[in-house]
A and B are shown apart, each in its own frame.
Chain A
Amino acid sequence: GENVEQHPSTLSVQEGDSAVIKCTYSDSASNYFPWYKQELGKGPQLIIDIRSNVGEKKDQRIAVTLNKTAKHFSLHITETQPEDSAVYFCAAPNKAAGNKLTFGGGTRVLVKP
């Protein structure tokens, strides 16, 4: 099955700086990689995703890059704001098992004003 690892587990940045979270996956057949943001007491919210036919995708201050050869993908948040503070999860679906998501361990991001 799929194994997803995520680093770092915690990340503290100054407001306005950039934040980068990295994930690796094990299943070379995986071709879809979503990122979720989870605020305290709430459900994971999809913020961006990338498919294996592209290497980079950007949406305003958020970007995701994918390196299929190395089997890793990264989330980049630029010009961080206090409301970016949350736990971020990367994930990969297990296509051989009904598309269930395997999540990374999560990164707790704290943006200090």
Chain B
Amino acid sequence: AAGVIQSPRHLIKEKRETATLKCYPIPRHDTVYWYQQGPGQDPQFLISFYEKMQSDKGSIPDRFSAQQFSDYHSELNMSSLELGDSALYFCASSLGPVGTSGRGEDTQYFGPGTRLTVL
């Protein structure tokens, strides 16, 4: 079965540079979530999109922005990178944004992640 695709898998940047992470959801999935995971930590929610509109925003710095395109893929743009931005960035996709009556539409499937290293 097709899974969530993320690119690039690894990215090395210098401080103050910019980075763009891409996410391609599972076919027919219309909802995308971005999470950030630091070393030894649990994933932290950044931002989500449903049908190309932002549906929720978490602890995402103002230096970061994201969008979902007409083909449902999403991009996370990170500017003025800082050392503390070094982390694993995961994208997850689901069919529909909110859990319903047990049909599994809220199940989130994660991609393999992008490891960002800021030097």
B108 with A31: CB separation less than 8 A: no
Minimal Cβ-Cβ distance residue in A for B106 = A99
B68: Cβ under 8 A from any A Cβ: no
Minimal Cβ-Cβ distance residue in A for B49 = A98
Number of interface residues of B (CB under 8 A): 30
Number of interface residues of A (CB under 8 A): 26
Residues of chain A within 8 A (CB-CB) of B109 are 46
Question: Distance (Å) between the CB of A103 and the closest chain B CB?
Answer: 4
Residues of chain A within 8 A (CB-CB) of B97 are 98-99
Stretch at the interface among A13-21, A37-45, A58-66, A69-77: A37-45
**Chain A residues close to B by CB (< 8 Å):** 31-32, 34, 36, 41-46, 49, 51, 53, 89, 93, 95, 97-106
Which 9 pairs between the two chains have the least Cβ-Cβ distance?
A: A98-B56, A98-B55, A103-B42, A43-B110, A100-B45, A44-B110, A32-B99, A43-B112, A97-B56
29 pairs of residues in contact across A and B, judged by CB atoms under 8 Å: A32-B99, A34-B108, A41-B115, A42-B113, A43-B90, A43-B112, A43-B113, A44-B43, A44-B90, A46-B107, A46-B109, A49-B107, A53-B102, A93-B99, A93-B106, A95-B98, A95-B99, A98-B50, A98-B55, A98-B97, A99-B56, A99-B94, A99-B97, A100-B48, A100-B56, A101-B92, A102-B45, A103-B44, A105-B41
Told that A51-B102, A99-B108 touch, could you supply 13 new A-B pairs with CB distance under 8 A?
A: A41-B113, A46-B109, A49-B107, A53-B102, A95-B98, A98-B98, A99-B56, A99-B94, A100-B33, A100-B58, A101-B45, A103-B43, A104-B42
